[in-house]
Amino acid sequence: MRFKTVLAVSALFAVVLAAAVLGPSSDMSDAASQRWESSDCVGLTVEYTDGNTYLVIVLDSDPGLGMYDVIVGGKVLKASGSDGKRVGVEMGAALEKNQNYTVIATPNGATYHCTLSYMQFYDVAATADPAAAGSVSGAGEYRTGEQVTVTAEAAAGYLFDGWFSGSERVSAQAGYTFSATADSTLTAKFINATSTITFDSNGGSAVDGITQAYGTVVTAPADPVREGYTFVGWEPAFPSIMPAGNTTYVAQWTVNTYTITFDTLGGSEVAAITQDYGTAVTAPADPAKEGFTFVKWDQEIPSTVPAKDLTISAVWAAMNATVDESGKTEVVLDKDTDAFVIPADTKTVTVTVDDNISVVIQDTSSIEAGTAVIAKVEEIPNTAEVDGTARAYEVTVTKADDQPITGKMQITLPYTPEKDKVPAVYWQNGSALEKMRVISHTSDSVTFETTHNSTYVVVAESVSEDSGATFMLYLGLLMVVGIALSMLIGFNYYRRKA
């Protein structure tokens, strides 16, 4: 019987010893986040895998004994093993997770102790973003409530911008300390020491970007402009201090409203059009005016609202023109009327536009009866380089479809006389001036002939020396001819007498 008892004890010691020597078996691997851990240890550490009925004691130094007393949670047990520093202790039952156990070993009369607890562990991961912009430290595994300190250090040319958990900034300090209460993934974000602001003008005029040091005072650029819109700001709002990292600001606009007004010049009222810029415009119905026919508007009605207010005036053709037996028609236009209708059998038309302003269409064969003709003579600023005081006039004579009237026209324009000067008329042919032939002039008007619409410049100019010499030559020739004729007449007279 005694032999059997010794054999059983020997077998038990062999199992415990194997565990002590070999360490935890494969089915004793630690859980990912919870396991038994020793702490507050003096002279030894304790290894235990949850669910096992034994634990392993590792002494700091070899006591030279294979067996000694071990107290686990107040229960006295025996440690055994061939390795004096590392021995196994059979407890007979697994430890309870909800308790902390004090393990005491007493080799050679010494007392060593350690606390064994079932603990929650958390993983703390730390990365740098961008990876080349800096370095981080402090990542690892930590017990519940244990203080964790992660540290970030910026590389040259970069600045630390903060620790982030996802999109949330959890600390602006490079050294971030917190208690481990859950798995954590932290990112140390770094920014360039200089930042660039880019502007998207969103259809407006270009705006130059701004590059300067992070944190310095930044001046807003001049507002962009966009046809038909009003600038209302940037999105996001423009900062007063240079932000971290590169940022794009997008211009925000509100569409403008414009009005197209119709001046019917005494005709029926036409309602104004007020709409947003760029929206489609529907042309109104033609106005009416007694004694006149509507020709057109003086400018084309736009298909969409332009980026400005417009006033468009009606063009009326007078219906009161009459023709005499010789085919001559005379028309007098008032200040609101630029057009008239050609009567049947008309050969020539004299149009009085204003005082000392008239246009004579000498041949109307190319104009069908009933056609509206627009005759406009408008004084404009003179830009021609001529000697003396000049007045410039824009002369336009066209059919209602803007086709010019072909053939000769006599045009009479106002003229301001000057002493010892005669009137001259120039046609402004692009940048060149071409002198017209003056047919006649009065004290306050000059008449010339032309075949085209253009700008004409009327000026009083001195008679040139060449003109005076030519006049004297003509006068001399006239005198010679007169003397010769007188002599011839006298000779014939005396010959008859003889």
Are 290 and 238 in the same domain? no
Report whether 264 contacts 284 (CB < 8 A).
Answer: no
Are 100 and 28 in the same domain? yes
The residue assigned the tokens 């007393």 is 69
SS3 486: helix
For residue 293, the 8-state DSSP code is E
Are 234 and 355 in the same domain? no
d(CA 55, CA 80): 11
Are 21 and 109 in the same domain? yes
d(CA 261, CA 382): 30
Are 232 and 271 in the same domain? no
pLDDT at 467: 46
pTM of the model: 0.53
Which two three-digit tokens encode residue 215? 């944190």
pLDDT at 482: 66
Nearest to 378 by CA among 418, 345, 338, 423: 338
- How far, in Å, are 65, 221, 226, 364 from residue 86 at the CA level? 11, 76, 84, 130
pLDDT at 471: 43
Q: Classify burial at 335, counting beta carbons within 10 Å of its beta carbon; exposed 0-12, middle 13-18, buried 19 or more.
A: exposed
Are 388 and 377 in the same domain? yes
Q: Of 74, 98, 120, which residue constitutes the final position of a domain?
A: 120
CATH code where residue 45 lies: 2.60.40
Report whether 134 contacts 153 (CB < 8 A).
Answer: yes
What is the chain's alpha carbon radius of gyration, rounded to the nearest angstrom?
56
pLDDT at 186: 98
Report whether 391 contacts 382 (CB < 8 A).
Answer: yes
pLDDT at 480: 64
Q: Is residue 47 part of a domain?
A: yes
Report whether 243 contacts 214 (CB < 8 A).
Answer: yes
d(CA 22, CA 483): 158
Contacts 24+ apart (CB under 8 A), 125-128: 125/184, 125/185, 125/186, 126/150, 126/186, 126/187, 126/188, 127/185, 127/186, 127/187, 127/188, 128/152, 128/187, 128/188, 128/190
pLDDT tens string, the chain, 498 residues long: the values are: 333 333 333 333 343 333 333 333 333 334 348 889 888 999 999 999 988 988 998 988 887 766 778 888 888 888 876 566 888 889 889 999 889 999 998 888 889 999 998 889 999 999 999 999 999 999 999 999 999 999 999 999 899 999 999 999 999 999 999 999 999 999 999 988 999 999 999 999 999 999 999 889 999 999 999 999 999 999 999 999 999 888 999 999 999 999 999 999 999 999 999 999 999 999 999 999 998 999 999 999 999 999 999 999 999 998 878 888 888 999 888 877 888 998 888 899 999 998 889 999 998 888 888 889 988 899 999 888 888 788 999 999 998 888 888 889 999 999 888 888 899 999 988 778 899 999 999 989 999 999 989 999 999 888 754 444 444 444 555 666 667 676 766 666 556 655
Q: Is residue 286 part of a domain?
A: yes
Q: Phi/psi of residue 312, each to 5°?
A: -115, 130
Q: For residue 317, what are the β-bridge partners?
A: 293, 339
Residue 261: give the domain boundaries: 257-313
The DSSP string of 242-292 is: PPSS-EEEEEEEEE-EEEEEEE-TTS-----EEEETT-B-PPPPPP--TTE
Are 54 and 115 in the same domain? yes
Q: Is residue 153 part of a domain?
A: no
d(CA 195, CA 245): 5
Triad 93, 99, 102: Cα angle to 5°: 80
Which two three-digit tokens encode residue 438? 């003056």
pLDDT at 128: 98
Q: How many domains does the chain have?
A: 4
Q: Phi/psi of residue 350, each to 5°?
A: -110, 115
Q: Is residue 23 part of a domain?
A: yes
Are 285 and 330 in the same domain? no
pLDDT at 22: 35
SS3 115: strand
Are 77 and 200 in the same domain? no
Q: Is residue 471 part of a domain?
A: no
Are 431 and 456 in the same domain? yes
Are 345 and 439 in the same domain? yes
SS3 473: helix
Q: Is residue 493 part of a domain?
A: no
Are 237 and 268 in the same domain? no
CATH code where residue 243 lies: 2.60.40.4270
194: number of Cβ within 10 Å: 14
Q: Is residue 366 part of a domain?
A: yes
How many CA atoms, within 13 angstroms, populate the side-chain half-sphere of residue 498? 6
Q: Is residue 128 part of a domain?
A: no
Report whether 390 contacts 376 (CB < 8 A).
Answer: no
